[in-house]
């Protein structure tokens, strides 16, 4: 019985540490969003729809955006976002390198 309690305590503590995800502050997200909007340069893919995507990315040691995932099945949108953002340098100084960020990006037809 004692071994079972110790095992449960160890499993619980390891799961707690494995799920230690920190949410970036609003200031960091705002700074990232501003940089990404600049990189997109108010362009949008050749699609006549309003749509929102979520982009998962991290910042590497060279302050470059590294795209991890884009939640879309449309290859045109995916290649557009990767072409505009992947491995592009940013100037934001408060960003944690190596941390994964998720940012929604909304495109509005004009």
- For position 108, what pLDDT does the model report? 80
Find, among 75, 40, 68, the residue nearest to 54 by Cα: 68
CA distance 42 to 81: 12
Residue 66 contacts residue 57 (beta carbons within 8 Å): yes
| Residue recorded with tokens 């940089």 | 35
- For position 20, what pLDDT does the model report? 46
CA distance 66 to 88: 8
Task: Supply the CATH classification number for the domain 23-107.
Answer: 3.30.1150
Find, among 52, 78, 76, 51, the residue nearest to 67 by Cα: 78
Residues of the chain with pLDDT under 50: 18-21, 23
CA distance 3 to 62: 48
pTM of full prediction above 0.75: no
């Amino acid at each position: 019985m004692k071994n079972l309690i110790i095992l449960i305590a160890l499993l619980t503590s390891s799961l707690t540490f494995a799920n230690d995800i920190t949410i970036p502050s609003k200031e960091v997200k705002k700074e990232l969003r501003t940089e990404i909007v600049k990189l997109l340069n108010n362009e949008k893919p050749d699609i006549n729809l309003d749509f929102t995507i979520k982009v998962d990315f991290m910042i590497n040691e060279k302050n470059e955006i590294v795209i991890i995932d884009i939640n879309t099945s449309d290859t045109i949108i995916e290649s557009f976002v990767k072409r505009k953002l992947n491995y592009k340098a940013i100037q934001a100084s408060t960003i944690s390198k190596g941390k994964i960020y998720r940012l929604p990006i909304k495109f509005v037809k004009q």
